[in-house]
Amino acid sequence: MDLRNCPKCGKLFVYTTRNLCPQCLKEDEEDFDRVREYINNNPQATIEEVSEGTGVTPRRILEYLKEGRLMLQSNNTNIILRCEMCDEPILTGRLCPNCSKKLKTRFVSDKKPLFVDEDMKGKIHLSKFSRDERRR
């Protein structure tokens, strides 16, 4: 059991998946629903208008967008969310599709597996050197 203090209200709670107590989590979900509904009904609204219409801070609205929980419509040019790598406009998240793809390929290892010689089978030690570069 993982006990934590809620960063919003300070109450002690049992951590499950999100770092908020049940009461603050409920309030956050209600805020999110209001923001989503407002943006869907007013696709050309600015972030300030969304904030005034819902009572949710602009910072929290941007967090919803960056978390990927909320997505702007393609015709919304008033709320500009930008890729954190290339600064291109995006509709949700932190990265544009191109930068996301580049980042994923960097994590995929293109290294060849360690060379295993025939006389090494069944042994615990594996040499990281090829046949030509074996230790002397």
Q: What is the pLDDT of residues 13-48, one digit of tens each?
A: 888 888 889 999 999 999 999 999 999 898 888 889
pLDDT tens for each residue of 94-114 = 999 999 998 888 877 555 555
Beta-carbon count within 10 A of 26 CB = 11
Q: Examine residue 118 and state whether it is found in any structural domain, yes or no.
A: no
Residue 62 inside a domain? The answer is yes
Nearest residue to 8 via CA among 60, 50, 52: 60
Determine, yes or no, domain membership for 78: yes
Residue 85 within any structural domain of the chain: yes
Counting the structural domains of the chain, the total is 1
- Domain encompassing residue 53: 3-109
Whether residue 133 lies inside any domain: the answer is: no
- Residue 73 DSSP SS3: coil
Contact 95, 85 (CB under 8 A): yes
Residue 60, SS3 per DSSP: helix
Which pTM does this prediction carry? 0.66
User: Does residue 129 fall inside a structural domain?
Assistant: no
Residue 117: inside a domain: no
